[in-house]
Amino acid sequence: MKNINKYTNKNILVLGAGKSGTNAAKLLIKLGAKVVLSDSKTEEQITDKALLESIGVKVLAGKQSPDILASNDFDLVVKNPGIPYDTPIVKKAQELKLPIIVEVELASEITDAELIGVTGSNGKTTTTTMINKMLNMERTSGESRVAGNIGVPASNVAEKSNSDDDIVMELSSFMLLGITELHPHIAVLTNIFSNHLDYHKTRQNYVNAKMRITMNQNKNDFFIVNFDNEEWRSLSKKSNAQVIPFSRKGNSTKGAYEKDGKLYFKDEYIMDAQNIRIPGEQNIENALAAIAVAKIKQRSNVAIKHVLETFGGVRHRVQYVLESEDRKFYNDSKATDIEATQMALRGFNKPVVLLAGGLDRGYKFDQLVPDLKKHVSGIVLFGETRYLLEDAAKQANIKNIKLVNNLDEAVPLAYKLSNQGDIILLSPANASWDQFSTFEVRGDQFIKDVENLTGKKEEK
């Protein structure tokens, strides 16, 4: 950790008492700042309130009124990335021309570690994890650590890091809007679709936010970009870094690419694509992005191959759980929309028994019908949308359609519908909130049900 003094005796407002805000406040106190932390939760809901106050943080619970800014002479605002810029208190800060940053920016200022930044609409977490595992292979000093949107506060990781380390930082569009000097030596753009338009208002705003990952890069840095889309290829021209493409469709051989089912880096054979442990075209793309980083960081093909052949996936994202009686179980609880379930199904070339259903958001599932028809041999449906999904399954001419009340009932029934060699996949195509507090809780319950059914433990 660097010893910096730019925050000594500065008055700083931290907005949000989640993981990033709490860790930012703690770090700023260590750096000599005077910190006020504001959160719309009640005092009882701020779990670290007593600890924060014991180290000198002033905690303000309740409504985040712009009046907080009027009654204090602040030098800086550190904002939770999820708080929109049109929130009254943030708009007031902008009117007062106060600098507004996010916690990952603060973390980047105090670390000597080399930064690898990963952004994109899909695949960020899986790519970040693959890269981290590869960079921890063949090390003689230091370690690689993950941070950021992956769920690990960057400031906490930065404090523990040194110049021998790497930090692989997953960066959301919300985070990237709040950076000013964050400078990844290697930046990765997995893809860009049309996400979070409720926050960004327009797709162009969203694209502009994503491209901030490369804004501080120079000719000594690397920008790794998916070349399988014309827009993304064009965006790469806006970077001052060395562009390293990756392509699953053969659009470039100047970086990482797939050709005839084999993965290469600049014409050097790495491995067969079919040997990647987690299935799906999207995971071939994620692997290619990770390969590009690993080769820049001079990891061997043996190390890269080992990671891709053994990595079972990020929890709840087409995660391999275990195999029993020649059936493989996968947990894709993160599939909270139709598109995610489509991608999951397309990743398998064996018959799938699908478990799906969840919160009714008022849409139908006609879009899913072609993928159900092509990949699904049996389907077990639960939750509020089970009858709507039943209609889609009938359109797909699936013969084995079962409706149950909950996931606990769905797992053993899915097993009964399966044959040897089948895939049993939880990919709900719906949010979890009708029966579970989060998709993580839903996925954990699926794993527990699979373990109870098979008498085996999840493979990690």
Query: Which run of H or E residues covers position 203?
Result: helix 203-211
Query: How many helices and strands in the chain, by DSSP H and E?
Result: 18, 20
Q: Is 373 annotated as contributing to ligand binding? A: no
Q: Is 310 annotated as contributing to ligand binding? A: no
Q: Is 42 annotated as contributing to ligand binding? A: no
Q: How far is CA 322 from CA 30, 172, 308, 414, in A?
A: 45, 31, 17, 15
Give the residue among 12, 143, 137 at the shortest CA–CA distance from 79: 12
Which residues touch 45 (CB under 8 Å, ≥6 apart)? Answer: 61
Q: Is 336 annotated as contributing to ligand binding? A: no
Secondary structure letter of residue 202 according to DSSP: S
What's the rounded Cα separation, in Å, for the pair 190 and 210? 10
- φ and ψ at 101, to 5 degrees? -125, 175
Q: How far is CA 290 from CA 187, 252, 295, 296, in A?
A: 11, 16, 9, 10
Q: Is 155 annotated as contributing to ligand binding? A: no
Structure tokens at 115: 């930064």
Left (φ > 0), alpha (ψ -120 to 50) or beta: where does 429 sit? left
> Is residue 333 within 8 Å of residue 442, measured between CB atoms?
yes
Which residues touch 415 (CB under 8 Å, ≥6 apart)? Answer: 327, 353, 424, 453
What's the rounded Cα separation, in Å, for the pair 246 and 116? 16
At position 267, the amino acid (one-letter code) is D
Which residues touch 341 (CB under 8 Å, ≥6 apart)? Answer: 332, 335, 354, 356, 368, 371, 427, 428, 429
Q: Is 202 annotated as contributing to ligand binding? A: no
| End-to-end CA separation in angstroms for the chain | 32
Q: Is 9 annotated as contributing to ligand binding? A: no
Mark the binding-site residues for ATP, compressed into ranges: 120-126
Mark the binding-site residues, compressed into ranges: 120-126
